[in-house]
């Protein structure tokens, strides 16, 4: 079954020179798709997106996040982008040495066998600052300031006290945290005319209405029973001395991806969505390594404080270039040498 691409702009965006972090993106086409008529536990119109966009093929990994930390948090960590559980907990994937001073900067590195696992213990604000860093060209040797982490795709600000807020997505933003609709469509949608179910939405993000097979893991955290409709959930991936753990992104195999080509939107870690539910609370979707099958279903959504940092919390990014500016954007990125995305066509 062929995947619908973005037409002219998809052809224009080829693999270009990358910064420290390269994000593999897949195209989510079929703009103006109908919403999911069977989902009653989410906002009306869930899954309908009126434009084409791209989304991370994989969750953001520890290797990706290490590059971010070394770029912006070597000389202090003003906003707590690093959580000590990333090192001390066996399910965390990032170690830190040094004192964070000019003479003894922090140095971040992926723990053994954890570089290709999804980063966890990250808050929504951490995810936003990572996206802003991508948007600003992945500058290195910087601190957490406007033009690096505090502005870009989103502006972070306080309410005059200690509460952090995030402004609306900038109209010119390219790198973003997916909205619930964007995330949901990438996970569950498949047009019925392209082999999807009659209502165009699967129950699980593995192109299936049947409960996924629980993924098992080898000694380095890759899924061993990869195949059709496999996901990392229900404490199945026992490795590194843990009863259930994160696994190598994409290791469930090509037969367990979504229609648009994303991996691990079922299980591994729950993923932050941009959408606000009430106050400052944000949505987490997709289940995690400890979740039940019900948590992987399209009807399941969790709302949480944007400050929450748990072993089950991670994220993936999306990219939405401005219409009509794509070729110019590509030329400018080549000249600057800071393009941080890799576009791949799906077969």
CA atoms of 25 and 261, how far apart (whole Å)? 9
Strands 341-343 and 23-28: parallel
> For 331, which DSSP code?
H
pLDDT of residue 255: 96
Domain boundaries, the chain: 62-173
- pLDDT for res 44: 64
Instruction: Give 17-38 as a DSSP string.
Output: ---S--EEEEEE--TTPPP-TT
Query: What is the distance between the alpha carbons of residues 33 and 49, in angstroms, rounded to a whole number?
Result: 6
Label residue 71 left, alpha or beta by phi (over 0 means left) and psi (-120 to 50 means alpha). Answer: alpha
Alpha helices in the chain (DSSP H): 8-12, 62-72, 85-88, 124-135, 180-188, 326-336
* Plot region of 294 (φ>0 → left; ψ -120 to 50 → alpha; else → beta): alpha
Strand-pair partners of 56: 25
Q: What pLDDT does residue 278 have?
A: 86
| d(C-alpha 276, C-alpha 227), whole Å | 35
Is-contact 116 59, C-beta < 8 A? Answer: no
**How far apart (Å, rounded) are the C-alpha atoms in residues 329 and 331?**
6
Helix (H), strand (E) at residue 53:
strand 53-56
**Full-model pTM:** 0.88
Q: For position 43, what pLDDT does the model report?
A: 59
Q: What is the pLDDT along the chain (347 residues), one digit of tens a residue?
A: 333 333 333 333 332 223 589 999 999 999 999 999 887 665 567 999 999 999 999 999 999 999 999 999 999 999 999 999 999 999 999 999 999 999 999 999 999 999 999 999 999 999 999 999 999 999 999 999 999 999 999 999 977 666 789 999 999 999 999 999 999 999 999 999 999 999 999 999 999 999 999 999 999 999 999 999 999 999 999 999 999 999 999 999 999 999 999 999 999 999 999 999 988 999 999 999 999 999 999 999 999 999 999 999 999 999 996 333 333 333 333 333 333 333 333 33
Angle between helices 124-135 and 62-72 (to 10 degrees): 70
Q: Tell me, what's the pLDDT at 321?
A: 65
Residue 329, pLDDT score: 38
């Amino acid at each position: 079954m062929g995947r619908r691409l973005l037409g002219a702009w998809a052809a224009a965006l080829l693999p270009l020179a990358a910064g420290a972090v390269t994000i593999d993106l897949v195209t989510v086409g079929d703009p103006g798709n109908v919403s999911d008529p069977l989902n009653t536990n989410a906002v009306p119109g869930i899954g309908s997106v009126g434009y084409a966009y791209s989304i991370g093929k994989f969750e953001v990994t520890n290797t990706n996040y290490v590059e971010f930390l070394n770029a912006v948090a070597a000389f202090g960590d003003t906003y707590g982008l690093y959580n000590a559980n990333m090192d001390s907990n066996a399910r965390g994937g990032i170690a830190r040495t040094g004192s964070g001073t000019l003479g003894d900067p922090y140095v971040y590195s992926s723990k053994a066998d954890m570089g290709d696992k999804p980063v966890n213990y990250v808050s929504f604000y951490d995810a936003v600052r990572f996206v802003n860093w991508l948007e600003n060209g992945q500058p290195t040797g910087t601190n957490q300031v406007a033009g690096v982490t505090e502005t870009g795709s989103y502006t972070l600000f306080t309410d005059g006290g200690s509460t952090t807020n995030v402004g609306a997505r900038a109209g010119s933003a390219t790198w973003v945290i997916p909205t619930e609709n964007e995330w949901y469509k990438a996970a569950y949608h498949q047009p019925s005319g392209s082999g999807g179910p009659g209502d165009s939405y699967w129950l699980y993000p593995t192109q299936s209405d049947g409960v996924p097979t629980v993924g098992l893991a080898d000694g380095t955290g890759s899924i061993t029973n990869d195949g059709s409709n496999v996901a990392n959930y229900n404490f199945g991936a026992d490795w590194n001395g843990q009863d259930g753990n994160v696994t190598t992104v994409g290791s469930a195999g090509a037969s367990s991806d979504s229609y648009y080509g994303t991996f691990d939107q079922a299980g591994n870690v729950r993923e932050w969505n941009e959408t606000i539910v009430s106050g400052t609370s944000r949505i987490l979707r997709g289940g995690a390594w400890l979740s039940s099958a019900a948590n992987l279903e399209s009807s399941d959504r969790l709302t949480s404080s944007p400050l929450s940092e748990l072993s089950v919390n991670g994220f993936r990014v999306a990219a939405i270039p401005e219409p009509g500016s794509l070729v110019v954007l590509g030329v400018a990125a080549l000249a600057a040498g800071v393009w941080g995305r890799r576009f791949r066509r799906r077969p």
